[in-house]
Amino acid sequence: MQDTSRHPVGRPLSACLTSQVGSHDKWALLRDLTIAAEDFGLGHRPLSVLKALLSFWPERELPGAPGGAIVFPSNRALSERLSGMPESTLRRHLAALTASGIVRRHDSANGKRFARRAGADHLIDAREADIRAEVKALGGADVVYDAVGGDQFDAAFRACNPEARILTIGFASGTVPQIKANHLLVKNLTVMGLYWGGYLKFHPEALTGSLAQLFAWHAEGKLHPHVSHVLPLSRVAEGLELLRSRASTGKVVIEIPG
């Protein structure tokens, strides 16, 4: 007589792979899941996406605790690992994996939402909005802090009010902006550069003193740096991808053993 024992949700016990206790060999788990795919209502394409997801976990063993294996690939990184699968198709297969209960998807914290919680009054998504128009509509800028450069610097520069000040500290976009001196003259603008590391060479006391003050403020509870991700050293490539894809909202910390 065939054993018809079933899991409480109605699936055969052989299909409930994630309910086992202890760690799992991720590739053996994928192989067993492929055999039981019909019980989960999955085809080979969602399983290909699952295989790509598993490849982002650096160890062969998956922890047995629910939620113990968390990876942070962006849709773009996942698409690249799937030989260029369109992101619309990728999202459909991720939805199937989520609906089956095999994976749980948590989108990266929204940067605008985090900024609002931190006290920002007005939020502009630089990837979608016209920065100059948005800032001018708010009354223009009196102070600009820029670490991006490129088109975003140009837009912020054009949104400045007379006598505004611009602090530039880096060029994350990869493009160093070229400033037209006549615009500085006409609007009486001040542009200041700050390379913090440069003080180590010509004024080291300023650098060490400011660091000491920052650590003192942190010890006193006056500063609360935001850490959005903590990863082990074995997943440093994943941490870099979080930064590259702008999926992090704060510091990405890599833990070094010992």
pLDDT at position 22, please? 56
In a domain, 68, yes or no: yes
Residues 23 and 86 in one domain: yes
Going residue by residue through the chain, which has 258 residues, state the pLDDT in tens, using 9 for 90 and above. 333 333 333 333 233 334 344 568 889 889 988 998 888 888 889 999 999 988 888 888 887 766 667 777 777 788 888 988 988 888 888 888 888 888 876 655 467 777 888 888 888 877 778 899 999 999 999 999 999 999 999 999 999 999 999 999 999 888 999 998 999 999 999 999 999 888 889 999 999 999 999 999 999 999 999 898 898 998 888 888 888 777 788 899 999 987
pLDDT at position 107, please? 53
In a domain, 3, yes or no: no
Residues 91 and 147 in one domain: no
Residues 94 and 38 in one domain: yes
Instruction: Give the distance between the most distant pair of CA atoms in the chain.
Output: 91
Question: What's phi and psi for 190, nearest 5 deg?
Answer: -120, 125
Host H or E run for residue 142: strand 141-146
In a domain, 85, yes or no: yes
pLDDT at position 67, please? 63
Residues 89 and 151 in one domain: no
In a domain, 26, yes or no: yes
Residues 135 and 85 in one domain: no
In a domain, 189, yes or no: yes
Its domain, for residue 139, covers 130-194
Strand partners, 84: none
In a domain, 240, yes or no: no
Residues 95 and 142 in one domain: no
CATH value at residue 182: 3.40.50.720
What is the DSSP code string of 58-95? Answer: -SSEEPSSTT-------HHHHHHHTTS--HHHHHHHHH
Give the end of a domain, one of 156, 171, 194.
194
What is the pTM (predicted TM-score) of this model? 0.56
Q: Counting Cβ atoms within 10 Å, is residue 122 exposed (0-12), middle (13-18) or buried (19+)?
A: exposed
In a domain, 108, yes or no: no
Residues 81 and 152 in one domain: no
Give the end of a domain, one of 138, 166, 194.
194
Residues 22 and 90 in one domain: yes
Residues 17 and 96 in one domain: yes
Cβ-Cβ contacts under 8 Å for 159 (sequence gap 6 or more):
131, 132, 135, 136, 140, 141
What is the domain count for the chain? 2
Give the end of a domain, one of 54, 81, 100.
100
Q: Is 189 in contact with 183 (CB distance < 8 Å)? A: yes
pLDDT at position 18, please? 42
Q: Is 46 left (phi over 0), alpha (psi -120 to 50) or beta?
A: alpha
Residues 88 and 135 in one domain: no
Residues 136 and 85 in one domain: no
In a domain, 169, yes or no: yes
* Helices 87-100 & 44-55 angle (0-180, nearest 10): 90
How far the first Cα of the chain sits from its last, in Å, is 56
pLDDT at position 8, please? 32
